[in-house]
Homo-oligomer: A and B are copies of this chain.
Amino acid sequence: MDSLKIGIAGVGTVGTCVVVKLLGGAVKDTTITRLAARDINKDRGFKMPESQWTQNALDLADEDDVDVLVELIGGADGTALDLVRAALANKKHIVTANKALLAKHGVELAELAEKNNCILKYEAAVAGGIPVIKALSEGLAANNIFRINGILNGTCNFILTEMETKGAGYEETLSIAQELGYAEDDPTFDVEGIDAAQKLSLLSAIAFGQKPNENDVLTRGISDVAAIDFEFAKGFEAVIRLIARAEKKIKSESSSASISGTSGEVVQVVEPCLVRKTSVLSGISGVTNAVQFETDMVDVILQGPGAGGEATASAVLADIADLSQFMKSGMRVTPHVFGRSVSELVASQSETEVMPSQWYIRLNLKDAPGSMAKVTSILAEHDVSIEEAVQRGPQNGEDHRPVVFITHKCEKSAIKNALVALEAIDVIAKDVNYMPVI
């Protein structure tokens, strides 16, 4: 039996771990034949002959002794994209950890893979070391997926957990996360929910037959979450988490076609949520990730490390092991990148109307007679009905006081319209926040 010949592009923390484990025999019947890195002279703690190294990653797409290209360069475009395109065109299989690449160019690359009878695997692109892609696409292969709930960004989850336990504000906690290396100097990609949206778009593609596209995900980051929201959350026996959710929108009963999984009526949202303690997701702390799949037959939850060199390497190596097994079994027909042929994937529709839910609304209410009456009547006018209300005394002698409502189930549009109307009256100060309750 021939060994699977592996070329690795990008030998940083993850790549180094992959190389060391492969050299240690972590996956049988594999050989590293090529390595590409900008600095090929750096001491990475392992030795490979100089002839196997190149500074030009694109070389790997042309080498005859590469069966599988492992792309660990990163970035949605540039070298990573050029390399994966060229490698697929040359009938090389791909293993990548690059969520940005797939959330932007996934459809094109899946088409290219199909055309060339290549496998493109990306377990490491979502939830790091947790085998969620495999669990969803193979472990739940026969299930009809109703809903995905995920904590997919460790940076946000760390910040929110810290704010919860320390009672600290957002900016202060972000600085701590940056000092600890959990957040980048420019944290936008993480804290604005973009990273989670990219990952969610890949899960949605598999679960619902959507063309993956991060732009189809309604995304709101965590920067509006304030220390006081955690105080209120505690009173409701809940915590605050950035939740990535995708679900099949059930149309009116006359249209039963909408539950086929390929109707395009899928809603994808990333936003901070009030998570009741009865949900397993409320217990996910720090940089841990978790994904819950709700289906017609089972409801399963996977949790583990969402990032880090070893966790990501674990997923990359599992993909390599799968490829090795496929090579042995003959490789006549390769599995589809997103669980079905690209021609079967449907374009998802950017939805502004998302799934109805209960909502948490925090207002800053002027401490004057009739304020509360004005607010509640505006909410009522917009069909937002109140289940619970909590009002605190004014803080630090301010003339406003925070008030929180938990609404009955309603559409997000009702909440947003009500907030617009509320902001137009004179009893509400700035610093409003709202979150769905799950």
Could you list which residues of chain A lie within 8 angstroms of chain B, going by C-beta atoms? 1, 17, 21, 26-27, 123, 128-131, 134-135, 138-144, 280, 283, 295-305, 310-311, 313-315, 317-318, 320-322, 325-326, 328-335
Contact = CB atoms under 8 A, between A and B. Distances in A.
A300 B142 CA distance: 23
30 contacts: A21-B142, A26-B142, A26-B144, A27-B141, A123-B139, A129-B298, A130-B300, A131-B140, A134-B135, A135-B139, A139-B315, A139-B318, A141-B317, A142-B317, A142-B321, A297-B310, A298-B305, A299-B304, A300-B303, A300-B305, A302-B302, A326-B329, A328-B332, A328-B333, A329-B330, A329-B334, A329-B335, A330-B330, A330-B331, A330-B333
Contact of A134 (B134, B298, B326): B134
Nearest to A1: B333
Contacts of A134: 131, 134-135, 138-139
B297 A140 contact: no
Nearest to A282: B283
Contacts of A296: 310
A59 to B, nearest CB: 26
A138 B322 contact: yes
A135 B218 CA distance: 31
Given A27-B141, A300-B302, 9 more contacts: A21-B297, A130-B298, A138-B318, A142-B314, A142-B318, A142-B321, A143-B314, A297-B313, A298-B314
A206 to B, nearest CB: 13
Contacts of A334: 329
B305 A302 contact: no
Which of A297, A303, A318 has the most C-beta atoms of chain B within 10 angstroms of its own C-beta? A297
A123 B141 CA distance: 13
A349 to B, nearest CB: 25
Contacts of A320: 142
A315 B300 CA distance: 12
Given A138-B322, A300-B129, A295 B314 contact: yes
A139 B301 CA distance: 15
Contacts of A315: 139
Given A26-B142, A27-B142, A332-B330, A280 B300 contact: no
A140 B321 CA distance: 9
Contacts of A129: 297-298, 300
Nearest to A304: B300
Contacts of A298: 128-130, 304-305, 310-311, 314
B329 A314 contact: no
Contacts of A131: 134-135, 138-140, 300
A314 B297 CA distance: 6
Nearest to A299: B304
Chain A to chain B: the 7 pairs with minimum beta-carbon distance, closest first: A330-B330, A131-B139, A142-B317, A300-B304, A129-B298, A141-B321, A297-B314
A67 to B, nearest CB: 15
Contacts of A128: 298
A88 B90 CA distance: 40
Contacts of A142: 21, 26-27, 314, 317-318, 320-321
A130 B291 CA distance: 13
Given A131-B140, A335-B325, A305 B314 contact: no
A26 B296 CA distance: 11
A144 B317 CA distance: 12
A328 B335 CA distance: 9
A330 B333 CA distance: 8
